[in-house]
Amino acid sequence: MATFIGNRGAIDFLTEKYGPGSKEVVEAIHIQEDDLLFSDWIERACQRLTHLYAQEISRDEKLKRREEVFRSIKDELRKLQDQFKIEGYKDFDEMDLNNAILMAYRRYIHGLKKFEILYEYLGRDLKRIIEFFKKIRTLEGEPSSFLDRWMKEREITVPASLQ
């Protein structure tokens, strides 16, 4: 949520300060677009690993298959390299991936697509989305689950790959 609000807030601020279409606004939009693209990739990567770890196979087999998954997800990321507009994630495929690295990045960009969809639904009004998140915080239960239910009740669709 903080990443989304920071990105969107920067876009709004820079648009007001420099005008739409300025190089500053375009760069901020590119950062948000790259974060969304990377967020989609990392969600798929984590889902694949979760599926692997849930299998009833030996630890040694899981470790062997995990290395195959890491190679495969790096290959998927390499195929996305031309779509990135800034340098932020361009060398990520060169990192030695492990669960901790993936989870650390996922923590800060998880759900960005949902937030983007919600932002559009709420009229591209950052103040409304912040108020919405404040409301969620006051409710009992896990915020992400609440958001999923809220969106479902309103038939706001999220691509299946991001659910």
A 10 A CB-CB count for 2 gives 8
The per-type count for the chain, helices as H runs and strands as E runs, is 7, 0
- The model's pTM is 0.84
pLDDT at 141: 65
Note down the domain range covering 10. 2-162
Location of structure tokens 């807030």: 9
Token representation of residue 153: 């009740």
pLDDT tens-place string over residues 116-125: 888 988 999 9
The answer to whether 93 and 20 are in contact (CB under 8 A) is no
pLDDT tens-place string over residues 16-58: 999 999 999 999 999 999 999 999 999 999 999 999 999 999 9
Location of structure tokens 């950052």: 126
pLDDT at 161: 45
Strand, coil or helix: what is 48?
A: helix
pLDDT at 132: 87
Domain count, the chain: 1
